[in-house]
Structure 1
Amino acid sequence: MLLGGLLARDPEAHETMDDPDCDPVMLARTFARFALVNALVSSPGALYRHWIRPRLRAGEAVRMLDVGTGGGDLPRRLLRWASRDGGALTAVAIDPDPRAIAAALDGPSMPGLDLRQTTTRALAVSGERFDVVVSNHVLHHLSPHELGAILADSERLAAPGGVVVHGDIARSPLAYAAFAAATLPFESTLLRDTFIRADGLASIRRSHTRAELARAAPPGWRVQRGFPARLELVRGAP
């Protein structure tokens, strides 16, 4: 596509893995590759260092919620790091898609990890509370109404003194070009028979700029930049 087309968000850009009838084998391979791809593009180390480890080092027992967990790679990685550091972290990882939860359950079991097929609304209504609420690459999937709803739920789900950090892609021509170039050599090898390259490019087109996300967020939220092409929509302090 022409990179100038990225100046405006394209909420109609299609991601195949969102189709309920997409190829189940390719979908399973996509979930299996998320751990590698997210390690490279999602800055999980920064999420841990800035928002979770300080609480653990202060001696807190931290309860975390991962919204839209997909294959469950993010909470597993964070739990490993917390265990390495001697911290008390537990994680509830949710996704409304039964295919995602099935893929997450196929992964290795881990102490402190609770995988559930449910929604933020159901957890909020039931009175669940968390010290840290996170998501990764979820916001660009949402309509304006859905975005408002998940942010409202997040506010209810955060315990007093808690923090919410929704991480997503920062749309730009550079991000699109970099992802296209970086994934092209692996299209027929590591990424073969997955949706990662095509859906990743569509995800960038669907994603927000910092200014767009700030306009869409209600009062009390702030947007921060991250590396390499990241945005964090944050409520609360570390």
Structure 2
Amino acid sequence: MLGFGQRLLGAQEKMDDLACDPRQLERTYHHFGLVNDVLSGWRSVYLRRIRPHLSATRPSRLLDIGCGGGDVPIRLAQWAARDRLRLDITAIDADARAIRYASVRPLPSGAEGHLHFRQAMSGDLVREGSQPFDFITSNHLLHHLSAAELQALLDDCQHLCVGTVIHNDIGRSALAYALFGLGTWPLFRESFIHDDGLLSIRRSFSKPELAALAPPGWRVRSLIPFRNLLIYRAPGKRPDA
């Protein structure tokens, strides 16, 4: 059995199966919000790396790639609206099921008209000649990709972003696997959270692996608990710590 010294490749998460139980898939999308609020650290990412660059008068544009059920872009829109800062968000996912779910979710007060969901991939926006974004984010996307797919994504991001790119993903470790397994088994039996989450940890990059694959201009930072941030700042922009 493959240990934690290497990524587990070639395995498919249950929610990625087009024939999976639609009720369990919907519950999974619903539960993502709780899991990400507790484990993904987006509040600190927003406070440190996004909010300082937002304005109350000048709109900023953010692209969220692989948005899933939409909880992360909804949170970002909520926080920006609460802070009275102008942030227009486009959230994309290749899976039509995710976009259908996200598109009918109620938006937080002040975010109406500032958050739009669309079925697309980053390459589609590059080919369309999309206007550049001030921020690009993703959550739990990188571990789905091969090394070649990761390089293609990062190239797309450099084409599309004139500010900061933040890819937030799991950092693979045996301890993360054990704690997630214990913490989620009694809570999420009617969704794919437990099984897919464990598989996601096995499929994720370690910090050294991600750093080795990162092109020039990209850097990897750790985020508690068990997170890797892969960050890019467009040329001419002041790098964050």
TM-score over 0.5 (shorter chain): yes
Q: Does 1:91 align with 2:89?
A: yes
Q: Tell me, which stretches of 5 or more residues in structure 1 are unaligned?
A: none
- Output one character per residue of 1:32-88: Cα deviation in whole Å (capped at 9) or x when no partner: 111111111111101211221101258642210000000111111111111111100
Are the equivalent residues in 1 in contact too, given 2:33–2:71 (CA < 8 A)?
yes
Q: Tell me, which stretches of 5 or more residues in structure 2 are unaligned?
A: 234-238
Instruction: Report the counterpart of residue 203 of structure 2 in structure 1.
Output: 206
Q: Alpha-carbon deviation of 1:184?
A: 2.3
Q: Alpha-carbon deviation of 1:201?
A: 0.1
Q: Distance in 1 between matches of 2:184 and 2:121?
A: 32
Matches within 5 A, 1:184-203: 184-186=185-187, 191-203=188-200
TM-score by length of 2: 0.91
Matches within 5 A, 1:135-214: 135-159=138-162, 162-186=163-187, 191-214=188-211
Q: Alpha-carbon deviation of 1:12?
A: 2.5
TM-score by length of 1: 0.92
Instruction: Report the counterpart of residue 131 of structure 1 in structure 2.
Output: 134
Q: Alpha-carbon deviation of 1:146?
A: 1.1
Structure with the higher fraction of residues in helix conformation: 1
Q: Distance in 1 between matches of 2:96 and 2:11?
A: 23
Q: Alpha-carbon deviation of 1:185?
A: 2.7
Three-state SS of the structure 1 residue aligned to 2:166 is: strand
Three-state SS of the structure 1 residue aligned to 2:27 is: helix
Are the equivalent residues in 2 in contact too, given 1:167–1:232 (CA < 8 A)?
yes
Instruction: Report the counterpart of residue 116 of structure 2 in structure 1.
Output: 114
- Output one character per residue of 1:79-99: Cα deviation in whole Å (capped at 9) or x when no partner: 111111110011000001101
Identity of aligned residues (%): 47
Among 208, 214, 217, the alignment partner of 1:217 is: 214
Among 222, 226, 233, the alignment partner of 2:223 is: 226
Aligned residues: 230
Q: Does 1:45 align with 2:46?
A: no
Q: Distance in 1 between matches of 2:56 and 2:100?
A: 35
Are the equivalent residues in 2 in contact too, given 1:15–1:202 (CA < 8 A)?
yes
Are the equivalent residues in 2 in contact too, given 1:13–1:203 (CA < 8 A)?
no
Matched residue type, 1:175: A
Are the equivalent residues in 1 in contact too, given 2:172–2:204 (CA < 8 A)?
yes
Matched residue type, 1:195: F
Three-state SS of the structure 2 residue aligned to 1:168 is: strand
Matched residue type, 1:199: D
Task: Choose between structure 1 and 2 for higher RCO, CA contacts under 8 A separated by at least 6 residues.
Answer: 1
Runs of 4+ in 1 over 2 A off after TM superposition: 57-61
Q: Distance in 1 between matches of 2:191 and 2:89?
A: 27
Are the equivalent residues in 1 in contact too, given 2:56–2:86 (CA < 8 A)?
no
Are the equivalent residues in 1 in contact too, given 2:55–2:86 (CA < 8 A)?
no
Are the equivalent residues in 2 in contact too, given 1:13–1:205 (CA < 8 A)?
no
With over 3 angstroms needed to count, the CA separation of the structure-2 counterparts of 1:102 and 1:58, relative to structure 1, is: closer
